[in-house]
Structures are given as structure tokens and as C-alpha cells.
Amino acid sequence: MLEFVRGPIPPCGTLELLGRPQARIHMTGLAIPQKGYCLLALLLLSPGRTVERRDVKSLLWGDVPSSRQSANLRQLLLRMSKLTELSDCLVAGGETLRLAGTRWRVDVQDLLGTAAVELTSDLPAWLTSGELLEGVDAQSPAFEEWLQSARRTVSLKRAALLSGLLSDGGRAVEPAMRVRLAEALTAIDPTEGFGHRALMEAHADAGSAYLARRAWHECRVVMREEANSSPDAATHAVATRLGLGSPTRASRGSVPINLRGGAGVPRVIMMPPTGLDDEPLYERLGKALIEDVTVGLSQYRSFRIIAAHTSFELARIGKESVVSPDTQFDYEVTISVRGGSGELGASCRLTRVADREVIWAIRAPIDTTDLKKSLDIVVRKTVSTLADAMDRAESMTPVDDNDSTGYRLYLEGRRAIGGTRLESLRQARRWFKAAVRRCDGFSSAFAGLSRTYSMEWLVRGMTESQLLDESLAMANRARHCDPNSGRALRELGFVSLYRKRHAESLEHFSEARSLMPNDGDLLADYADALLHDGQADEALVALAEARRVNPLPPDYYRWIEASIHYQLEDYVGAIHALEPVSEVAATSRLMAASCAMAGRNLDARRFAAVVRENYPSFRVEQVWQIVPDRRPDDTRKLMEGLLLAGLD
């Protein structure tokens, strides 16, 4: 019997299988099931674009009885056939299924059928978009094995086209575009030297010796980790020609790398307060600020704080008379208290010992009418901004295989993890792995590794627990290395939340907060955990505290805030929170539900259309797997809004 899966209404539609799969007709998404995309990929990448029905059933439903396999395939074809008119069938056949659609524009087909890419300002999206069927849950070992092989085929074709672009007309392409192409090539095959050479040259041509040097170091790290080797002679030659050897660090007065300790974290000394003008009040305030800032900075595990008592002693006996590693420091923190013109204020500066450069300074007023509150604000502001300034200063030092500390490599990982693309997460993972290879007891680097695994699980929309298990293992390693690490406890709380172990999650976050009370991102994660535990009011308080600590937060704070307002049935508040980032597709589901529940039906339908366009395989029932709510009623409330918006 001949069965049809009908294609889009003429004249044509687009089918995108690279990245998150989606199908469109005139910018309107088609809700093709995940198994439907799997079937289309099977046909597109099979010889002759035909597959035997029995092979389809075995690959897609190999873990169910034969009778169920046949029923599942029939239901899939029937469901897809109801999406469009009969005029353009996509799949036809009896025992042999084949592609029948001729009016679809298919990205995989375009990619595999292209011999060379023309050098134009607008390169085809399929050249650098995501991997084949990204985020699709195969749910079948046999199909997963086939998918990995198909992805290798796609990757090899992309690599060939990218290499051709960079080889034939590379210098004619603007440096920014060459950077993008070279990054895509190195992501496909991190051990191939050509991509790394192109990336170094592109950064150098763009005038950034720092980024070129970082690309050279990334090349060496990847080659050592992935291939247990070093870059080839051609890549070494390019690095030499570009002058990418790391300059020596300024060392006058600073701590030699081999004396910094296992992870190579910088040593910071608190200096005696200055500018006290023999005023007893100023002296008391200066010493109080020194003590509180020291305690605050001690909560960070990325540098070592030396208490002010040491600096008092060194000043008393003369620093030159004591020469030992224990009296060598990388940075000095100096706090001053001054009055004048009726105003009292405190200032703090961070000085690099090596060259005596003041790399950061801050001044804040002190309100004598409410001294305790005013000092708390000064300390909190000083501690958070000073820690960031120190990390920025360290991150500007060159990265070198033989000289870089585990801490320096860790900072590169923190920089890379700022993005949510898979390439960024995996690049961050390589840096963190390099950091723990340099120091196998570096707790913060293990915490960073944990976050890369849990974020990849979220970005890929996975349901299997393998990546969460790996994230949990890394978080436990981080805590084993440093039982008092707030970062380790934060990651344990984060991964426990998505494993739906709410009590454990809140316990970990509570411990982390006691160690890092002024960490805004930790407080935001804690607010998210409270929300999913059913404590929406408490979550709102925690998020307000996070915003107070971090007044210019990343966008994901808004998503947490909107989710809280939604659970509190303040749908207008949810819309208001998300409006500044409403153009981001990831917010469309919550915006659609919020608008629907607020009675803004036209807006709800508009955002529902965005959901269909960007997540065509999304079904409302999937919310049970995506959202880690402890209370089923909270999940049902979100599902109600999505259904009201017109999603199914």
C-alpha cells in the first residue's frame, strides 16, 4: 500500500535539519514530530535516498516489539500527512520509503550537493549552523549510532568547504569573517592544524596579537588533550612568523609562578590603612574596613588573601630585612579614610606589585548618620568589584603552555563559558580540563567543568541523565578538593535541581550562601531553586537581593524573574520582566503563556508562532520533562498558559 507524507503548500517550503530541526512554509512553522525529522534525515543521507521500511522501524523503534514498530511508523506517517496539503508529498513508498518532495529547500541537501562555496558577503547558513538534528533525543541506540556516523559525514563536508574558502580566497575575506570560519573549522576537527593556523592569522590581521596568542595556546592545549601530541611543523612556523611566543612576565617584586602554590592563584596583601589624619574616628573606620574587606575577599577561592597584620609587621621591621616566598605578593590592597568639606569617604585601590601600576580604584561616601549600613554598602561594593578587577588583570597576562598557572587557564574557561553555544561550552571545558591537569586539586576548575556539563544538558534539551551525572561527579570533585568552596556547593545545588532533588538542591545553595553571601549569580540560582520548590515569594526576595548585589545582571535574571511572577499569577509583571529580551527565541514560550494568561491574546498568538518557528517539535506535554517543578500544579499552570496561547 502506498502511503504519503505530504509536503508544504506550493510553491515551496524549507526544511532545516542542521541545528535544531525545523520546517517552514512562508515563515510559518510546521510541527513535525522528532521521529519525523529522524525519518527525513535517514532518507536524505541514505544511498539513493531510499530506506527499507523494516530498517526504518528497526532504527527508530528497535527497543519495542515488531507489531508496535509497524503501528508507530503508520501513526508517524499519518500524523505528518495531516500537516499540509497533498500536492507535494515528502515521503512515498510501500516497503521501500523514498523522498518524494521536490519543492522543499533542504539545508543538508544543499550542503552535501555543493562542490565549492562562492566567496560572497552572505555565506550560506548551513556552512556554520549546528550539528545534524541538534537536540533531538534519539531514544534508540541503533539510531544514535547511525546519527553519529551521519554527523561525521556532514562535518567532513563542512570541513572541506571551509578549508576551500580559507585556502583559495582567504586573504580576500575580512578578518572578522575569517575568524568565524576558522573557529567553525577548528570546532569540527580540533586536531587539524590548518584551522588553527587560519585562526591565528585572522586574529593577527585584525590587529589582535592577544587573541592570536590565545588561539595558539588553545591549539597546543587541544592537541595535547585530544591527540596526545603537539602542533605540526607548519603550525609552529605560523606561530613563529606571527611572533606568538609568550613575552616574559614582569617579575620585579611579584611572586614567581612556581611559588604561587598548586593552582598558581595570586597572593594579595592587605596594606595598613592610610589617610587617617590622626583622627580616632578615621582610624577606627579604617581598621574596621580592612577587617571586613579581608573577610569578604577570603570568601573567594581564586586568590590568596594575606591579612593586614603581616603588612603592619613588615612595615615595623622593614620588608627588605625579610626575604622569603611568604613575604612576596602579586597585589596590594590599600584602603584610605578621609574627610573634608563636611564629607567623609573611603577609597580603595589595587596595585600590581610587579610594576607598581594602580589597576583599579574606587571611592564611596560614608554616611555617619547610619554608620553600620553605610559601611556594609562600602564593603560589599569594594569586595565584589575588587575581585572582578583582579580577575581581569590576571586574564590580561599571556597564556603559555609552560608558564601559565592553573588559575590563568581557569580564567580562560570562565571567559568561554559566558556563551551558551555548544562550541563555547566545549571550549570552556577544554580550558578547565587544562587547569585541573596543571593542578589536580583546583576546586574552582572542577566546579567550572560541572557547569559545562549541566549547561550542555540544558542547551541540548536532553532527557538522558548522562551529562547530569558527569556534572554531579565534577561538582563532588570540586567539593572534595575544597570542602569550603561556595562554587562547588553552587554547582551541587544547580545539578541537584535539574535532577529534581529539591531538598538537596536547597541545602547546597544554603551552604553556598553562607560562604558567598555577596555572589549575585549564586543568589539568582538560589532564587530559581526556590521557585521550582514552590516557594515563589521567597524566590522573589532572593532575586531582589541578587539584583542589589549585581545591579547590571545578565539576561537570564529576567527569565527567572518572569517565571517567579508567573507562578505568583502576576502575568503583567512576567511580561514586563521579559519585554527587554522578548526578541530572544528562548523567551517565546514563557512570553506566550504570560500574554495568554493576561488576556493579551494577539500577543500570545504572536509568541506562539515564534515557538512553532524555532521549536517546531515542541509539545506542551514536554514541559513535564523540561521544567523541574516539585509541585505538579505549578507545571500545570504553565501548561495552561501555553495551551491558551494556541500551542498543542
Burial class (CB in 10 A: 0-12, 13-18, 19+), 572: middle
Q: Is residue 399 predicted with pLDDT exceeding 90?
A: no
Q: Is residue 333 predicted with pLDDT exceeding 90?
A: no
Confidence at residue 135, expressed as pLDDT on a 0 to 100 scale: 72
Question: In which band, very low, low, confident or very high, does the pLDDT at 258 lie, cut at 50, 70 and 90?
Answer: very low
E runs forming strands in 444-582:
none
- Give the position of cell 587539524: 192
Q: Fold match between 257-395 and 406-644?
A: no
Burial class (CB in 10 A: 0-12, 13-18, 19+), 66: exposed
- The whole-angstrom separation of Cα 322 and Cα 317 is 8
Q: Which of 110, 192, 122 minimizes the C-alpha distance to 157?
A: 110
- The whole-angstrom separation of Cα 52 and Cα 456 is 34
Could you tell me if 515 and 443 are in contact, meaning their C-beta atoms sit under 8 angstroms apart?
A: no
DSSP label at residue 274: B
pLDDT higher at 307 or 353: 353
Where exactly are the structural domains of the chain? 3-127, 184-246, 257-395, 406-644
Residue 232, φ and ψ in degrees, nearest 5: -75, 175
Give the Cα-Cα-Cα angle 531, 535, 536 (nearest 5 degrees).
60
Q: Is residue 247 predicted with pLDDT exceeding 60?
A: no
Task: Tell me the C-alpha to C-alpha distance, in Å, between residue 546 and each of 377, 516, 534, 572.
Answer: 14, 12, 19, 22
- The whole-angstrom separation of Cα 406 and Cα 410 is 6
Lowest model confidence (mean pLDDT) among 95-104, 245-254, 481-490: 245-254
Lowest model confidence (mean pLDDT) among 110-114, 132-136, 279-283: 279-283
CA dihedral 572, 576, 577, 578 (to 10 degrees): 100
Buried b (16+ CB within 10 A) or exposed e, 263-289: bbbbbbbbbbbebbeeeeebeebbbbb
pLDDT digits 0-9 by tens, 130-172: 789 887 766 678 888 899 899 989 999 999 998 888 886 555 6
Lowest model confidence (mean pLDDT) among 191-195, 225-229, 494-498: 225-229
Confidence at residue 252, expressed as pLDDT on a 0 to 100 scale: 37
3-127: CATH topology: Arc Repressor Mutant, subunit A (1.10.10)
356-360 own/partner pairs: CB under 8 Å, 24+ apart: 359/389, 359/393, 360/385, 360/386, 360/389, 360/390, 360/393
Give the DSSP H/E element, type plus range, for residue 496. Answer: helix 486-498
Confidence at residue 461, expressed as pLDDT on a 0 to 100 scale: 60
How many alpha carbons lie under 13 Å from residue 152 in its C-beta half-sphere? 5
- Residues with Cβ within 8 Å of residue 208, at least 6 apart in sequence: none
Q: Of 455-464, 487-496, 612-621, which has the strongest mean pLDDT?
A: 487-496
406-644: CATH topology: 1.25.40
The letter for the amino acid at 253 is G
Q: Is residue 2 predicted with pLDDT exceeding 60?
A: no
Q: Can you say whether residue 574 is alpha, beta or left, with left for phi > 0 and alpha for psi between -120 and 50 degrees? A: alpha
- Residues with Cβ within 8 Å of residue 46, at least 6 apart in sequence: none
pLDDT digits 0-9 by tens, 570-603: 999 999 999 988 877 778 899 999 999 999 999 9
Architecture in CATH for domain 257-395: 3-Layer(aba) Sandwich (3.40)
Could you tell me if 532 and 563 are in contact, meaning their C-beta atoms sit under 8 angstroms apart?
A: no
Mean pLDDT over each residue of the chain, to the nearest integer? 81
Confidence at residue 343, expressed as pLDDT on a 0 to 100 scale: 76
Confidence at residue 8, expressed as pLDDT on a 0 to 100 scale: 39
Confidence at residue 7, expressed as pLDDT on a 0 to 100 scale: 43
Q: Is residue 477 predicted with pLDDT exceeding 90?
A: yes
Task: Tell me the C-alpha to C-alpha distance, in Å, between residue 333 and each of 162, 283, 284, 290, 501.
Answer: 49, 17, 18, 9, 42
Confidence at residue 460, expressed as pLDDT on a 0 to 100 scale: 67
Question: In which band, very low, low, confident or very high, does the pLDDT at 641 lie, cut at 50, 70 and 90?
Answer: very high
Q: Please spell the DSSP secondary structure of 131-195, one letter per residue.
A: -BTTT-----HHHHHHHHHHHHHHHHHHHHHHHHHHHHSGGGS-HHHHHHHHHHHHHH-TT-HHH
Q: Is residue 319 predicted with pLDDT exceeding 60?
A: no
Could you tell me if 325 and 259 are in contact, meaning their C-beta atoms sit under 8 angstroms apart?
A: yes
Confidence at residue 418, expressed as pLDDT on a 0 to 100 scale: 62
Q: Can you say whether residue 155 is alpha, beta or left, with left for phi > 0 and alpha for psi between -120 and 50 degrees? A: alpha
Tell whether omega for the bond before 483 is within 30 degrees of 0, i.e. cis: no
Confidence at residue 511, expressed as pLDDT on a 0 to 100 scale: 92
pLDDT digits 0-9 by tens, 621-640: 888 888 899 999 999 999 99
- What mean pLDDT do residues 447-452 have? 93
pLDDT higher at 576 or 100: 576
Question: In which band, very low, low, confident or very high, does the pLDDT at 89 lie, cut at 50, 70 and 90?
Answer: low
Confidence at residue 277, expressed as pLDDT on a 0 to 100 scale: 57
Q: Which of 206, 204, 275 minimizes the C-alpha distance to 240?
A: 204
pLDDT higher at 259 or 351: 351
Confidence at residue 563, expressed as pLDDT on a 0 to 100 scale: 94
Count the helix, strand and coil residues of the chain and give each as a percent rounded to the nearest 5. 60, 10, 30
Question: In which band, very low, low, confident or very high, does the pLDDT at 276 lie, cut at 50, 70 and 90?
Answer: low
